[in-house]
Amino acid sequence: EKTEKYDVVLVSTGRRPYTDGLNLEALGIQTDKLGRIEVDDHFKTAVPSIFAIGDCIDGPMLAHKAEEEGIAAIETIAGFAGHVNYDTIPGVIYTYPEVASVGKTEEELKEAGVKFSKGSFPFAANSRARANGSTDGFVKILTDAETDKILGCHIIGPNAGEMIAEGVIGMEYGASSEDIARTCHAHPTLSEAFKEACMDAYDKPIHF
């Protein structure tokens, strides 16, 4: 048991949208019990000329999610087909080591009855991570057992917040784990761990 003394302790139990003072009721705009503005699939509120995006509507409170919604909303207003793929919105926890993920988890796939394959690769077996002295963590790839389509990517380790982008791009365009495994990655780089995890998902890695 260890005891420490601190001047301030921050306890965070969640966040709520800051919609107070917007006079939404007078405008006829509905909110849910958490104060989030209700919108349709095109971010339109009950008032056709008013749109809402980001932290004040349903979904994860992430700046990059809000950015994509803003672009989609403007495209819709301009008469184009604005769209956000919520299955490919990455989440990053900026700790040490970093944590990043996109797509489904093993638990979600099991609950949905989806047959899946799993590949993983530890940073302890990655040359760049070893050279940097940052070998904690691993990359995990989840794929459809029949088609090999990537369903989820999860990273704990150095530069996870940057590396997850490869998984996002792959999922956005329907890539399989073999697609990424057969793509040349520079050596020595941390991204090779992503490649090797994909190799493990459909076959086996070569450096572990």
Q: What angle do CA 32, 85, 162 make, to 5 degrees?
A: 110
Q: Which two tokens stand for residue 120?
A: 């993983």
Tell me if residue 187 is catalytic.
Answer: yes
User: Catalytic pick from 64, 83, 187, 207?
Assistant: 187
End-to-end CA distance of the chain: 37
Cβ 150 vs Cβ 135: under 8 Å? no
Q: Any residues with CB less than 8 A from the CB of 154 and at least 6 apart, and which?
A: 100, 101, 105, 139, 140, 141, 142
* CA dist., res. 103 & res. 143, Å (int): 10
Which residues form the catalytic set?
187
